[in-house]
């Protein structure tokens, strides 16, 4: 591992360099640790692994050793996976995607708080989540005055550095030094009743500083690393995702022609995953130019839009790139730096800004019901999948709130459109448009029974439509209430084949 010692320019903090094992030894049992990381970018690479080894050794001696892990969003196997594998996490928040972590949560062996991403930082400042003991944050460099150049994600790092009693820094020589200047760290937030408007009028507005402030006296360890992020793997767009993208592009074109969208659209937010990436690929081939993005995560499709000139600029809190896209990003970073802004997630997901800018929000789902309620987090109502992430921040405040999914799961055995969702993350009040490969249901201005008819007709898989229509027809006849008719004794019998 090649270490660039010149990345640590503060003599005071250079004196605190130590091994990952020595740094991990400074984290006590029961501590709440705020760790960097957002969708596999910018997470600490060495100390969590050393901490997992320490926890495993403690458990082998019959000692209890577990910590609380707070992050920006999902991280990587070297963090979530390693700590979950040794049963080292007592409580996790706010979003996760690691299979071992998910298994622990659903087995009842790990507590998990699923929380809107825009709420995390302010809840920590409010004191709602308890005390933050340690911040463990990856950075690109330490400047002479002790301030910190962020890495490939920002997430909640500003809050961790501000609120934690003690700070452990990982300085990653593997991060491109040209990242310096891409970030926008806003220090103007206040606690009620002293809040002021967030002064962002356009997606590219810079309102903060390019580095983190850091109190050197709180830094207890500096660990040097040289390791890449966990790059995301995207599947090539298949026929289903291309069809979904096509329906959305047709709809956006229709809205432009009706005068309800400008020709260059409005700022785009896109959730993570293959379908979302396929929509971005569709936009690259589509007629729209001068696009902008105000989103959480910049994926391959959005990077391609920027590189092609179709998208003028993008604001996010993290990168989530494939290996191939990461190579292109680093190769062209000097030219990309002025067209990409990475912000704290309390600003990238801020409801005030999202509503002011008129964001077009596009997110995925697990299941939708015939009235437009969305479950994006749970399987069969009880088992967590990943978490709500930032979809709620955007859906409730967007100019257009779009949810998209393939119409079936489990090789066609399960319908994504059901009579009643088994868990509600986004109520019908926050959902305007639902899209599957079969079509697009525009729910704006429709009453519940009207919504049900169009959802069944436009987006349900044809093989499930007869069962859904039968349920809806009987509910309209026999439900005690006729506003949102349901047969509650039948509603949670998931529609399956076989």
Query: Does 286 carry a binding-site annotation?
Result: no
63 carries an active-site annotation: no
Half-sphere CA count of 471, side-chain side, radius 13 A: 26
- At 132, list the tokens: 């933050």
**Annotated active-site residue in 78, 296, 367, 437:** 296
Query: Does 204 carry a binding-site annotation?
Result: no
Look at strands 297-299 and 318-320 and give their pairing. parallel
Q: Are residues 76 and 40 in contact, defined by beta-carbon separation less than 8 angstroms? A: yes
Query: Does 42 carry a binding-site annotation?
Result: no
SS3 at position 133: coil
* Number of C-beta neighbours around residue 358 at 10 A: 16
Query: Does 134 carry a binding-site annotation?
Result: no
Query: Does 459 carry a binding-site annotation?
Result: no
Q: Are residues 239 and 437 in contact, defined by beta-carbon separation less than 8 angstroms? A: yes
Whether omega before 476 lies within 30 degrees of 0, making that bond cis, reads no
**DSSP run (H or E) holding 269:** strand 268-270
Query: Does 274 carry a binding-site annotation?
Result: yes
* Alpha carbon distance 376, 373 (integer Å): 10
Q: Which residue has the tokens 């300085």?
A: 171
Q: How far is CA 88 from the centre of its chain?
A: 24
- At 433, list the tokens: 């448009």
Q: How far is CA 32 from the centre of its chain?
A: 21
Q: Which residue has the tokens 């409010």?
A: 126
Query: Does 277 carry a binding-site annotation?
Result: no
Query: Does 309 carry a binding-site annotation?
Result: no
Q: How far is CA 178 from the centre of its chain?
A: 24
Query: Does 390 carry a binding-site annotation?
Result: yes
Looking at the annotation, which residues are catalytic?
A: 296
Binding site, annotated residues for CoA: 271-275, 366, 386, 390, 410
Annotated binding site: 271-275, 366, 386, 390, 410
């Amino acid at each position: 591992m090649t270490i660039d010692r010149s990345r640590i320019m503060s003599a005071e903090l250079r004196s605190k360099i130590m091994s990952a094992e020595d740094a991990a030894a400074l984290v006590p049992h029961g501590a709440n640790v705020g760790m960097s990381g957002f969708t596999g970018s910018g997470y600490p690479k060495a100390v969590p692994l050393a901490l997992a080894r320490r926890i495993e050794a403690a458990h082998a001696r019959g000692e209890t050793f577990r910590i609380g892990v707070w992050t920006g969003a999902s991280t990587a196997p070297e963090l979530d996976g390693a700590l979950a594998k040794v049963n080292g996490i007592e409580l996790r928040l706010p979003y996760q995607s690691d299979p071992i972590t998910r298994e622990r949560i659903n087995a009842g062996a790990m507590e998990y708080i699923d929380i809107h991403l825009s709420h995390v930082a302010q809840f920590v400042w409010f004191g709602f989540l308890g005390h933050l003991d340690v911040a463990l944050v990856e950075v690109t460099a330490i400047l002479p005055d002790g301030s910190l150049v962020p890495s490939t994600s920002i997430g909640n790092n500003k809050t961790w550095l501000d609120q934690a009693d003690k700070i452990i820094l990982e300085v990653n020589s593997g991060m491109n030094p040209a990242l310096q200047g891409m970030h926008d760290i806003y220090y103007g937030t206040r606690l009620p009743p002293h809040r002021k408007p967030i002064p962002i009028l356009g997606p590219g507005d810079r309102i903060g500083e390019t580095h983190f402030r850091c109190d050197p006296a709180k830094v207890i360890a500096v660990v040097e690393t040289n390791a890449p992020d966990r790059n995301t793997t995207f599947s090539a767009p298949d026929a289903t995702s291309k069809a979904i993208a096509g329906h959305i592009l047709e709809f956006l074109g229709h809205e432009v022609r009706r005068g309800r969208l400008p020709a260059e659209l409005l700022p785009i937010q896109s959730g993570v995953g293959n379908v979302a990436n396929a929509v971005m690929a569709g936009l690259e081939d589509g007629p729209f130019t001068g696009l902008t993005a105000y989103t959480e995560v910049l994926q391959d499709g959005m990077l391609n839009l920027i590189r092609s000139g179709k998208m003028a600029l993008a604001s996010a809190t993290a990168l989530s790139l494939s290996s191939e896209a990461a190579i292109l990003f680093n190769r062209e970073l000097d030219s990309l730096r002025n067209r990409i802004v990475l912000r704290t997630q309390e600003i990238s997901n801020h409801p005030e800004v999202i509503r002011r800018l008129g964001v077009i929000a596009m997110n995925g789902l697990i299941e939708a019901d015939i009235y437009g309620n969305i479950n994006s987090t749970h399987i069969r109502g009880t088992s967590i999948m990943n978490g709500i992430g930032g979809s709620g921040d955007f859906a409730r405040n967007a100019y257009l709130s779009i949810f998209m999914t393939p119409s079936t799961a489990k090789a066609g055995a399960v319908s994504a459109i059901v009579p009643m969702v088994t868990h509600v993350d986004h109520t019908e009040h926050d959902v305007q448009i639902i899209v599957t490969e079969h079509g697009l249901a525009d729910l704006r201005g429709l009453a519940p029974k009207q919504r049900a008819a169009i959802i069944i007709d436009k987006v349900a898989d044809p093989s499930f439509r007869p069962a859904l229509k039968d349920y809806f027809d009987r509910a309209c006849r026999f439900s005690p209430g006729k506003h949102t008719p349901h047969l509650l004794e039948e509603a949670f019998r998931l529609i399956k084949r076989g």
